[in-house]
Amino acid sequence: AQSVAQPEDQVNVAEGNPLTVKCTYSVSGNPYLFWYVQYPNRGLQFLLKYITGDNLVKGSYGFEAEFNKSQTSFHLKKPSALVSDSALYFCAVRDMGTTSGTYKYIFGTGTRLKVLA
């Protein structure tokens, strides 16, 4: 079965420092991996995705993620954190789908990022 794990409930980082939010996955076949961000009292916003190709994926708001097949990881990174990056971050993986062609996404438990001024 497909699954995704976010081992950290919360990550604290000082403003201006690099940040990493961790995600590991378990899939059968090629993984389709996603990162979403949720700001307080708002819906989820798509940040970036890995489908195939370059292992370093760039996304919105200066975020990037590195796909590592050998470690089955897809960590979210940003070179210099901003206070406004403080939010809840979700990693997700697409499942294999059904014979009827439908599919669904499996979300991690989320990591709360707190950037300190």
Partner 1 sequence: SAVISQKPSRDICQRGTSLTIQCQVDSQVTMMFWYRQQPGQSLTLIATANQGSEATYESGFVIDKFPISRPNLTFSTLTVSNMSPEDSSIYLCSLGRDKAYNEQFFGPGTRLTVL
The residues that touch partner 1, with contacts defined as CB under 8 A, are 32, 34, 36, 42-46, 49, 51, 88, 90, 94, 97, 102-105, 107-110, 112
Please give the structure tokens belonging to residue 56: 């370093």
Give 17 or 45: the residue with its C-beta nearer to partner 1.
Answer: 45
DSSP state of 58: E
Beta bridge partners of 90: 36
Residue 27 C-beta: closest distance to partner 1, Å? 12
SS3 98: coil
Residue 110 C-beta: closest distance to partner 1, Å? 5
Please give the structure tokens belonging to residue 45: 């916003």
Residue 105 C-beta: closest distance to partner 1, Å? 6
The Cα 33–Cα 23 span in angstroms is 10
Give 17 or 30: the residue with its C-beta nearer to partner 1.
Answer: 30
